Each structure stands twice: as C-alpha cells, then as structure tokens.
Structure 1
Amino acid sequence: MSIPRLFAEAELSEGLEVPALPGQGHYLGQVMRKREGDPVVLFNGRDGEWRARIAAIRKDRASFIPETRLREQSSGPDIRLLLAPVKRDALDWTVEKATELGVRRIQPVITARTVVGRVNTDRLRAIAREAAEQCERLDLPDIAEPLDLHAALDAWDGAPLLVGDARGNARPLGVVLAGKAPPLGLLVGPEGGFTGQELDAVRRRPFVSPAALGPRILRAETAAVAGLAVLQALAGDWAVPI
C-alpha cells in the first residue's frame, strides 16, 4: 500500500513532533486504516520532504515524528496565473490542474463579464493542498484574494504578462514567449471574454503581450491549463532536462 503524503504547517526537523492538520487524522485512521508507527511523508514548503511515522492517532487527531529528509527544499519557476473566476466545478478543476502544472501564484480577477459573485479561497487552498500532496510538489501555490482586474494590474510587479487574445490578430503564444524567462504570468479572461474596453486597457500596459492560443475558441479553464502547459514547456521546468 502506498505511503500517504501530507502537507504540514509546522517546522519539520528530525525527532520534532508535528501535529496533523484538521481532517488528516480522520483520513489516516478511518479512510487509510493507518495506525501508530505507520510511515507517512510530510512537506511544508520550507523544510523539504520528510519520511515520518505516525506518533499518535485518535479519532480526528494525529501527530507525526519526522525521521529522515528525503528531498531538500526547492521551488519551481515563478509562473503565475491571473484568472477571471468561472463556475465552481470548472474553477476547482483549474486550480487543481494549475497546481499540478507548478504555478506559483493564482490571482482571481474580477472583470465586467465575471459571472461568479464570490470566490471561496479557503476551499481553493484546500484543493491546491490536496493536488500538491498527490503530484509530489514541495510547496503550495499562493491563492490570492480576488481583485478587480485593473487593481490586479496596478499591483503587478512588471514581469511579462501574456494575455490570450481572441481577436485573432496576435502572434502565437510560443512566438511571444521566445527569449522570455520566469517570472512570467498568464492572464485568462471570463467565459464571455474581456470587453473591448478591458482588452484595450490591458494591452496598454507596457508589461502585457497579447498571445494567440490557437485557431479555436477555448473555454476559460481550457485556456488556463493549455497556456500554463506551454509556458512550462518553453520557459519553465519542463524545458530543463531531468
């Protein structure tokens, strides 16, 4: 049976007892049928990855003892996603896949055609944590609180930001990426697309480059995942030999 891999918030150090996060004790005991002494793997985004054992488990509580560091801490390239929130299932899926693709930060942006009134960032952080546990990331993406599109652009640090251009007059994403390296960002609009005024305002920003995502109209969640995959393949850690 596979060894559970779990995110921890506490410091990870040999012999230092670590409390389980809410829900982890129930998962280990009731779902995975684990007992005291069974192995787990822990990571916290700071201290690398550790092989540990379950020190105590009772109902919904548990604690662990780290024993051996398996991997030193490392981070992937600084690739960010700015995404107009879509409906719940599609947004959950996008956050899960963006985490698997190694994105460092996810910034929800509110646009004129955004149809979602509220973004549950706590739920999105839980989804990202579970995805990171499964895909063997050593850190979690930062899930930011939603910002108005223009406020998000005002707060941008000047890194190259690529925006999908559905008007059909932009260069292909791979061409726009040539010569660029992280930090990089990808901006994906809402289901109905940006308004003309929004797209014009975005394109006036000096750090923004319009980019075409192929000849077909993509759903917002498809555009986000496809665009991130291209960024990783051409400018991220997919381009680095393993």
Structure 2
Amino acid sequence: MRANYKMQRLYVPQDLSSGAAIEASAEQSHYLSHVLRLGEGAELLLFNGRDGEWLARIEAKAKKSVRLRAVEETRKQPAHPDLIYCFAPLKQGRLDYLVQKAVEMGAGVLQPVITQHTQIARPGIERLRANVVEAAEQCGILALPEVREAQKLDLLLASWDHDRRLIFCDESAQTDNPLPVLRDVAERRLGLLIGPEGGFSQDERRQLHALPFVTAIPLGPRILRADTAAVAALALIQASIGDWQTI
C-alpha cells in the first residue's frame, strides 16, 4: 500500500500500538501547534521505522507540548531495503541532498566512504540521520536506512561480503551504456559505490577492477556531478535489477 500524501507524517522514536500515548518532542510540538496550527482532535500519521504506520490524533495540547494518541494501523511495516549505498561525503548542502535522494530511492544502508579525493573526511552522522528522517517523513517511507560511521575505502573493500555484488560508477569506462553490464549481474544482494567530486584515483580504480565481487558501470556520455551521479545510478539499478521490478 502506498503512502497517504494528504496527511502530515511524523517520525517518533516511541513504540507504536493501538491506544499508545506519544509525547511529541519540543520541536515537534512547536511545529504541530504553531506552524501547522493543528488543534485537539486533528489527525496525522506516525511511524518509527519498526511498527508500521499509525493514524493518530492530537489528544491534548499545552503551551509547549503536544500529546498524541495512536488509533489504528494504516500500513504494515515493510521489509528493510537490502541495498547498501556507499558514497564519498560531499560539502554540506549537496551532502544533504544526496542523502535525502538515497532514502527516497530505496537505500537500506548509508555508508560514507573516505577515498583519496574525498572533500569531507568526517561527515556529521547525526545530521545525516536527521536528513534520513526528513526524507522518510516527506516521502511516505517506513523502513529507515541505517546510517553507518565513515570508513576508508580499503577497509570497506577488505570487509565486504563477497556474496554481495558491489557496483561502482567508473567515469573511465569504455562504453556509455550501463544496461548490458547490469543485466549480467546475477546477484540480487547489491551495493553501490559513488566516488567524490574528483573521482576515484588511478590506484583506487585498479583496486576496484581487480576484485571479483565488483562490477564497474558507466553513467552515459556526460560527466555528472557526484550528487547527480548518485541519483542516476540508483535509478538505473532499481529499474534494471532492483526493487522497482517487484512493485
């Protein structure tokens, strides 16, 4: 069942069940009362990434607090997406965009990767998680991606599960069409690796090409910025061998 886009959706960390009372955070209370101007009895949707989606009503309001009451489940909790999305962190504004789009496109794990040309060595993990929640609230997503701590590329590759195919976007590929390459990927457990603005170094490319669980793909005839490449690659994978085929 697809999301109800006409109702306000709110992420809460508390457990959700019929009749559960939920105290909104101070920020959420301000938003509900003073931005949306919702009164007692107003309805909205709640989710926590574990218990599905629930219709809730505003039960009580005070000056700086709002209490919500879960009424009934509107959508069951779906299976967690299996796609691991690995990316070199960008500068802040574009990193926010990249993370939000990855959530919308069905990533199950967000793994920052430090490469030789990475611009940001230590991305703010809590900000990444906040962007995950914001994207999930806006786009009807119930299964929140896991956000992992940044890891150097060589360590990521050394610990990678060889039964999971890792697809990386290689701007030096000799062809422009990624579809024939993707159609040859037999595995359905996938990871995607997007490099930094400066691209992968020659040493990194050689390392990636030498690994049996890695597949390199091009992204067309034009040079794409890293955040654009991320959206393009996710769309290609989901449409050709990912979860768009099962919808």
Q: Same fold (TM over 0.5)?
A: yes
1:11 aligned to 2:15? yes
Distance in 2, matches of 1:220 and 1:47, equals 34
C-alpha distance in 1 between matches for 2:25 and 2:166? 35
Query: CA separation in 2, counterparts of 1:22 and 1:83?
Result: 33
Within 5 Å, give how 1:23-42 maps onto structure 2. 23-42=27-46
1:140 positional shift? 1.1
Q: Is 1:177 the counterpart of 2:185 in the alignment?
A: no
Which of 225, 241, 245 is the aligned partner of 1:235? 241
Identity %: 44
Residue 165, structure 1, aligned to residue 150, structure 2: no
CA 1:180 to 1:24, structure 2 compared with 1: closer, same or farther past 3 Å?
A: farther
Q: TM-score, normalised by structure 1?
A: 0.93
- Indicate the larger mover: 65-74 or 153-162: 153-162
Q: Paired residue for 1:101, among 82, 101, 105?
A: 105
Q: Root-mean-square deviation (CA), in Å?
A: 1.8
Q: Using the TM superposition, give the Cα deviation of residue 170 of structure 1 relative to its aligned residue in structure 2, in angstroms.
A: 5.8
After TM superposition, the structure 1 stretch with the greater mean CA deviation from structure 2, 216-225 or 12-21, is: 12-21
SS in 1 for 2:102: helix
Q: Is the 8 A contact 1:79 1:182 kept in 2?
A: no
1:217 maps to which residue? 223
Using the alignment, how far apart are the partners of 1:129 and 1:118 within structure 2?
Answer: 20
Q: Secondary structure at the match of 1:70?
A: strand
Which residue in 1 is equivalent to 2:146?
Answer: 142
Q: Deviations over 1:6-36 (max 9, x none)?
A: 1111111000112224521111111101122
Matches of 1:29 and 1:190, distance apart in 2: 41
Query: In the alignment, residue 237 of structure 1 is paired with which amino acid?
Result: D
- Structure 2 regions of 5+ residues with no counterpart? none
Relative to 1, partners in 2 of residues 1:180 and 1:28: Cα closer, same or farther, differing over 3 Å? Answer: farther
Contact 1:76 1:237 in 2 (8 A): no
Residues 1:146 and 1:60: Cα distance change in structure 2 (over 3 Å): farther
Cα distance in 1 for partners of 2:26, 2:99 equals 21
Q: Hey, what does 1:204 align to over in structure 2?
A: 210
Structure 1 gaps of 5+ residues are none
Structure 1 residue 184 displacement after superposition: 0.9
**1:25, 1:58 within 8 Å by CA — same for their partners in 2?**
no
- Are 1:67 and 2:71 matched, yes or no? yes
**One-letter amino acid of the structure 2 residue matched with residue 114 of structure 1:** T
Partner of 1:20 in structure 2? 24
2:88 to 84, 87, 92: 84
User: Letter of the aligned partner of 1:190 in structure 2?
Assistant: P
TM-score by length of 2: 0.91
Cα deviation per residue 1:116-146 (whole Å; 9 max; x = unaligned)?
A: 1331111111111011111101121111111
Deviations 1:67-111 (Å, cap 9, x if unpaired)?
111111103641121100111111110111111111111111011
Alignment correspondent of 2:129: 125
Question: Cα gap change, 1:184/1:170 in structure 2, threshold over 3 Å: closer, same or farther?
Answer: farther
CA contact (8 A) 1:77 1:183 kept: no
Tell me how far 1:217 sits from its aligned partner: 1.1
Alpha-carbon distance change, 30 to 153 in structure 1, aligned in 2, over 3 angstroms: same
Equivalent residue for 1:152, pick from 145, 156, 171:
156
Residue by residue over 1:156-198, the C-alpha shift from the partner in whole angstroms, topping out at 9 and shown as x without a partner, is 2221010111112268432222153532111011100111001
The answer as to whether partners of 2:176 and 2:220 remain within 8 angstroms in 1 is no
